[in-house]
Amino acid sequence: MSKYQQVFFDFDGTICDTYPGKSLALIHTLKARGFENIHEKTIKSLVKTSLKKGLEKQFNIKDKKELNLFLADFNEAYEKEFMFYATLYDGIFDLLKKLSASVKLHIVSAKPKKMVTALLAHHKISSYFKTVNCVEKKNGCRSKTAIIAGLKKSDHCVMIGDQSADVRAAKNNHIASIAVTYGYGRKSELLNSCPDMIIAHPTEIIAKL
């Protein structure tokens, strides 16, 4: 039985790997603008960091209107054609199934809720989560810290994620944190954020709970 009453999961880079679909959507959008034969390392860097900043730096797309149009086309291509190329990380399905039998699980993500809920349903794991919560300014949810503060029932909780922001959100709420290095976050940044625990593979999570 887990020592935690609630477990907060980040989504992208922790539960689900959206890189396959996002990389294809990015290549599609770049090709439509005449950019061909982009190196895989460049694609990976753009998808796993800040796409907007990467476009400005690596493709010299600096006009605000042009940038916004590119991002709109990328998002449309991803949602309509490539979103369901995303995969669950190895071991995640069994982990969620086992944990949800005795612990309340919640999604706390910075990704659009429409995307998160669609992928949860696609991979048949929606039922394992009590709530799905996303940082969305239009709904007044401006940070993971605020989301966790509104959800936690006690300090017997843990936040699991692949970014230093996940660790900070946990610390801000005085709960435990588990940083995962198999996602998109840089290991050095995760270590510098001083998580309570750090793991390299999803199958290691259950032993920490």
pLDDT in tens, 15-69: 999 999 999 999 999 999 998 888 999 999 888 877 888 888 888 888 889 999 9
Work out the angle between the directed axes of helices 51-58 and 40-48 (0-180°, nearest 10).
140
pLDDT in tens, 16-31: 999 999 999 999 999 9
How far apart are the C-alpha atoms of 207 and 209, rounded to whole Å?
Answer: 6
pLDDT at 145: 95
Q: Phi and psi of 140, rounded to 5°?
A: 80, 5
Q: What is the C-alpha end-to-end distance of the chain, expressed in Å?
A: 8
Amino acid at 151: L
In the chain, the domains with their CATH numbers are 6-17+87-208 (3.40.50.1000), 19-85 (1.10.150)
Paired sense of beta strands 157-161 and 176-180, if any: parallel
Lowest mean pLDDT among 6-10, 57-61, 84-88, 170-174: 57-61
Burial of 3 (0-12, 13-18, 19+ CB in 10 A): exposed
Q: How confident is the model at residue 9 (pLDDT cuts 50, 70, 90)?
A: very high
Q: Kindly state the average pLDDT of the residues 139-158.
A: 89
Paired sense of beta strands 87-88 and 16-17, if any: antiparallel
CA dist 174 → 10, 136, 145 (Å): 17, 23, 10
CA 174 to chain centre: 21
Amino acid at 154: S
Work out the angle between the directed axes of helices 164-172 and 144-151 (0-180°, nearest 10).
40
Contact 209, 197 (CB under 8 A): no
Amino acid at 10: D
How far apart are the C-alpha atoms of 53 and 14, rounded to whole Å?
Answer: 23
SS3 66: helix
Q: Kindly state the average pLDDT of the residues 95-103.
A: 95
CA atoms lying within 13 Å on the CB side of residue 39: 5
